[in-house]
């Protein structure tokens, strides 16, 4: 049985004060048999780690540089994240790929670095609307998944399938559309790692997840949770999703 996991991707939202009050409220709920991850901005990470010590809430960064240190103005290194007690890192989010031009080669370096530093990695893949309409969804997802080839250990890995056309648009993939890609990703994991890795690795769905549509998605065999953007900014709606 794969434990369901729910991650709140706040993106560039919430001041430290807002982050603190969200986490205080979230801590009051019990999420039995579920894994909860919150991904605040870099500036709120240290406070968030402290606030969630001895709770079931894990704290992750939304991005990371691959190098331990160096002349990389404006970047944050794995050592800095480790130093403050961060345990999870999101890598390859479509906004990083499309708005900040991160390519598969760079993302591959980041994943390898994060895994070697012992982080749990939520690795994002997904096609644009154009790519879907041209029938290229599988090709794109397969190319993105190639970034995982050669990793020694798949233990610390989760995959998030986020169709770019569904992110922040209010358009969700139907449970059937999502399941089709999730089971394809599971097959790719078996090829890249092993059959047992394919059985254990959680694949989250992301893209306009709400309290209303989550149950239909979770009912599918290969959907093991959600990476939630917009609906994770409100503690009540994120709590409803994570308890669905």
Active-site amino acid positions: 93, 162
CB of 67 to ligand PGA, least distance (A): 25
CB of 13 to ligand PGA, least distance (A): 10
Q: What is the DSSP string of the chain?
A: -PPEEEEEE--S---HHHHHHHHHHHTTS--TTEEEEEE--HHHHHHHHHHTTTSSEEEEES---SSSSSS-TT---HHHHHHTT--EEEE--HHHHHTS---HHHHHHHHHHHHHTT-EEEEEE---HHHHHTT-HHHHHHHHHGGGTT-S--TTEEEEE--GGGTTSSPPPPHHHHHHHHHHHHHHHHHHT-HHHHHHS-EEEESS--TTTHHHHHTSTT--EEEESGGGSSHHHHHHHHH-
Site string for ligand PGA, 6-25 (x = CB under 6 A): ---x----------------
Binding segment (CB under 6 A) for ligand PGA, from list 52-60, 66-74, 160-168, 187-195: 160-168
Task: Report the residue number, 51 or 228, with the smaller CB distance to ligand PGA.
Answer: 228
Based on the shown chain and the rule CB under 6 A, indicate whether residue 62 belongs to the binding site for ligand PGA. no
- Is beta strand 225-228 parallel, antiparallel or unpaired with respect to 4-9? parallel
Binding segment (CB under 6 A) for ligand PGA, from list 64-72, 126-134, 197-205, 225-233: 225-233
Residue nearest to ligand PGA (CB): 229
Backbone angles phi, psi at 26, to 5 degrees: -65, -35
Task: Report the residue number, 77 or 96, with the smaller CB distance to ligand PGA.
Answer: 96
CB of 25 to ligand PGA, least distance (A): 19
CB of 127 to ligand PGA, least distance (A): 14
Backbone angles phi, psi at 87, to 5 degrees: -115, -20
Q: Give the interface size with ligand PGA as a residue count (CB under 6 A).
A: 13
Taking the C-alpha atoms of residue 89 and residue 82, their distance in angstroms, rounded to an integer, is 11
Task: Report the residue number, 147 or 198, with the smaller CB distance to ligand PGA.
Answer: 147
Based on the shown chain and the rule CB under 6 A, indicate whether residue 167 belongs to the binding site for ligand PGA. yes
Q: Which tokens sit at 228?
A: 């939630």
Binding segment (CB under 6 A) for ligand PGA, from list 125-133, 189-197, 214-222, 229-237: 229-237
Task: Report the residue number, 119 or 205, with the smaller CB distance to ligand PGA.
Answer: 205
Site string for ligand PGA, 203-222 (x = CB under 6 A): ---xxxx-------------
The contact set with ligand PGA (CB under 6 A) reads: 9, 162, 167-168, 206-209, 227-231
């Amino acid at each position: 049985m794969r434990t369901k996991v729910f991650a709140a991707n706040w993106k560039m939202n919430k001041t430290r004060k807002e982050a603190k009050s969200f986490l205080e409220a979230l801590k009051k709920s019990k999420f039995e048999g579920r894994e909860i991850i919150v991904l605040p901005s870099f500036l709120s990470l240290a406070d968030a780690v402290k606030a969630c010590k001895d709770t079931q809430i894990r704290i992750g960064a939304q991005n990371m540089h691959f190098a331990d240190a160096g002349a990389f103005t404006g970047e944050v290194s794995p050592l800095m994240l480790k130093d403050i007690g961060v345990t999870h890192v999101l890598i390859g989010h479509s906004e990083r790929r499309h708005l900040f031009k991160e390519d598969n080669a760079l993302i591959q370096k980041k994943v390898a670095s994060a895994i070697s530093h012992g982080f749990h990695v939520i690795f994002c893949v997904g096609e644009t609307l154009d790519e879907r309409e041209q029938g290229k969804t599988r090709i794109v997802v397969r190319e993105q998944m190639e970034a995982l080839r050669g990793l020694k250990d798949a233990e610390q890995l989760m995959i998030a399938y986020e169709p770019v056309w569904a992110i922040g648009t209010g358009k969700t993939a139907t449970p059937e559309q999502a399941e089709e890609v999730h089971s394809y990703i599971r097959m790719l994991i078996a090829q890249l790692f092993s059959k047992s890795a394919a059985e254990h690795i959680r694949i989250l769905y992301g893209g306009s997840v709400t309290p209303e549509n989550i149950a239909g998605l979770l009912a599918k065999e290969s959907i093991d949770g959600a990476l939630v953007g917009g609906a994770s900014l409100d503690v009540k709606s994120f709590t409803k999703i994570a308890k669905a």
